[in-house]
């Protein structure tokens, strides 16, 4: 018998001063049995960093990347089903990123492992011809602290200012400063 996804719900209060976005989002996340709390929370963070201020051009959605290799962790599709933004979490290989770059107007990667510098060194020269890919590194320590905020039902506040992110619940707050690698 196959294991099923575990459902998590999050109420996000986002105050993104860099993008002048102030919004509340009720989010449901299906966590694959092989996914860690850390990766799931980085997906949630990627959602908060990329959600649009309105839905005129479609909406950002959680996709099924761990179930289906042809899907992203998150993606933003317009109402014609055209792919506007492909978002991966982790350390995808160059073939996956180049395929995504051909399918989407924009590709973003959020890597959160301590091995990110090694992965990036091996990948950097292989994706040079795709100018629509941006890569972000989230340091391992804040990423692991983010995982400790995980609950089946979460109330999270996110404040984003000058590239710094504070994400917290009623008990703890984590500061994250993603570094742009590309």
- Mean pLDDT of the chain, nearest integer: 92
**Average pLDDT of 45-55?**
89
**Average pLDDT of 48-53?**
90
Superfamily of domain 6-180 in the CATH hierarchy: Restriction endonuclease-like alpha-beta roll domain (3.10.640.10)
Q: For residues 170 and 93, give the distance between their C-alpha atoms in angstroms, rounded to a whole number.
A: 37
Give the pLDDT confidence of 111-165 residue by residue, as tens digits: 999 999 999 999 999 999 999 999 999 999 999 999 999 999 999 999 999 999 9
Using alpha carbons, select from 154, 111, 107, 104 the residue that is nearest to residue 136.
Answer: 111
DSSP letter string over 87-114? EEES---HHHHHHHHHH-SEEEEEE-ST
**Structure tokens that stand for 77 in this block:** 């599709």
Q: Is the pLDDT of residue 94 over 80?
A: yes
pLDDT at 27: 94
């Amino acid at each position: 018998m196959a294991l099923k996804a575990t459902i998590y719900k999050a109420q996000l209060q986002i105050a993104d001063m860099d993008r002048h976005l102030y919004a509340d989002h009720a989010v449901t996340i299906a966590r694959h049995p092989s996914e860690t709390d850390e990766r799931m929370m980085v997906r949630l963070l990627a959602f908060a960093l990329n959600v649009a201020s309105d839905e005129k051009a479609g909406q950002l959605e959680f996709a099924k990347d761990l179930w289906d290799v042809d899907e992203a962790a998150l993606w933003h599709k317009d109402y014609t089903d055209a792919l506007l933004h492909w978002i991966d979490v982790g350390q995808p290989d160059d073939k996956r990123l180049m395929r995504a770059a051909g399918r989407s107007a924009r590709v973003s990667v959020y890597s959160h492992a301590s091995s990110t510098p090694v992965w990036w060194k091996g990948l950097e020269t292989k994706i040079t011809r795709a100018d629509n890919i941006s890569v972000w590194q989230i340091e391992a320590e804040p990423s692991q602290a983010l995982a400790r905020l995980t609950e089946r039902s979460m109330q999270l506040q996110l404040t984003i200012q000058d590239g710094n992110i504070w994400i917290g619940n009623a008990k703890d707050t984590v500061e994250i400063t993603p570094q742009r690698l590309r």
